[in-house]
Amino acid sequence: MSASIGRILTLSTRGRATRSGVALLLSCAGLAGVSGCSLLDGGSRLEEALEHVPAGASTVTFVDRAAAADRLDLDLETGAGDAELDRWAEDAVDEAYGTKLADYTRTMQGAAFSDFDVEWEVEAFAGGAPYRVWKLDEDADFDAIEKDMLDAGFSREREGAAQGDDVVLSIGLKEANGTMAGDRYPVALMGTTALVPDERLVVTGNVTAALKTVHDDADSAADADDFDELLERVDDLDGLEYVFLAGEGEQTCGPARLGDDGATGEATGEATGEATREALGRPGAFGLFVPTDADSRVIRVLADDEAATADADALRAGLADHASLSEIDTKVDSDGAATVVRTGFGDRRYMVRALFTLDLPFACGTT
């Protein structure tokens, strides 16, 4: 794939706390080659987010921060005091995922916006470059955000992909005199930032490519049906708190890391038998879907029904012997050319951790 999936996960997932209509999955029979013929109708937050992801992205990570905050009853606003932040930290400490801004929640309480203002975040990789979009809530004041970022040391930039009221701002470590511009905006995360007030979006990373997609000057992942083979196997795209997608046609994972660390070759204590290594399939695409208070689902798309059946059998055996995952309740089935692994909502942390390390049920076979 165009970037190491381990690097992608390191950049895309965070151990922090973080609403979406019913999606009608439409068939495009006979129109498979037509751009824009998609299974998505834009009714959920995930679908809205995919409309802002450039076509051809190798991976996508989506976090519905508002849904998770509702579940945790954490209705907080930027400018929160120490007592509120302590409650946030206590309630959020065991959460498996969050936005990138969650790592800077305390330091950004003096900023014009923070993680508390984010409805959802989507991050994608294409050509090795990250694209990151935050959708802010209806109360977001983009004029105040622009003014405060300028006060913090950012400069306005010319950007050909910008339209209308878009504003592109940038700052470097030297200009910021450190890692936090004005002691409140993370430079590594927001060094180049586009404000798109008409859509209530804040865009960072490869801003040029992202703005072209936001303004429909380039196809999005939704237009190109990039992840439809995964999404069509999800009963309801509404209400998903966390989603990770590795797209079709990409090498979704490297050599099986079932018994050693893929980077160091050192034993991890999670070893399974050689038979499991050989029997596991090599999915052409996979995804993790975590809905609010419902079973999480891992979907692995294989070459055909036979490959999926063999892959499911190998996963059952491997999970039963796994040092950590054997203790949680998993159900493994084959569904046509896909393997589907279901776990309870309470076990989502195990699944996200396994995704980080490409451990079962995300590992690939050796052949």
Q: Please, which pLDDT band fits residue 19 given cuts at 50, 70 and 90?
A: very low
In this prediction, residues 192-220 reach a mean pLDDT of: 94
Measured between alpha carbons, how far is 132 from 19 in angstroms, rounded to an integer? 19
For residue 242, the tally of other CB atoms under 10 A from its CB is: 28
- What's the burial of 138, exposed, middle or buried (CB within 10 Å: 0-12/13-18/19+)? exposed
* pLDDT tens string 74-95: 889 999 999 999 988 888 777 8
Band of pLDDT at residue 181, cut at 50, 70 and 90: very high
pLDDT at residue 116 in the model: 96
Question: For residue range 286-320, what is the model confidence (pLDDT) as tens digits?
Answer: 999 999 989 999 999 999 999 999 999 999 988 88
Amino acid 1: pLDDT = 35
Helix (H) or strand (E) holding 331: strand 330-335
Query: 250-280, pLDDT tens digit by residue?
Result: 455 644 433 333 333 333 434 445 666 678 8
Q: Which helix (H) or strand (E) holds 59?
A: strand 59-63
Mean pLDDT, the chain, as a whole number? 82
- Structure-block tokens of residue 68: 């998770």
What angle, rounded to 10 degrees, do the helices at 5-12 and 348-357 form?
140
| pTM for the model | 0.84
Site of tokens 């992801």 = 53
Q: How far is CA 142 from the centre of its chain?
A: 24
How far is 136 from 117, CA to CA, in rounded Å?
Answer: 6
Domain ranges, ordered by start, for the chain? 5-214, 254-357
Query: Residue-wise over 68-106: b if at least 16 C-beta within 10 A, else e?
Result: bbebeebebebebeeeeeeebeeebeebbbbbbbbbbbe
Q: What is the pLDDT of residue 8?
A: 40
At 42 the pLDDT is 55
- What pLDDT shows up at residue 174? 92
Residues in contact with 264: Cβ distance below 8 Å, sequence separation at least 6, in sequence order = none
Say yes or no to pLDDT of 9 above 60: no
Mean pLDDT of 196-203: 97
d(C-alpha 200, C-alpha 195), whole Å = 8
* Chain segment 100-134, per-residue pLDDT in tens: 999 999 999 999 999 999 999 999 987 778 889 99
3-state helix, strand, coil in the chain (%, to 5): 30, 20, 45
Tell how far CA 99 is from the center of its chain. 9
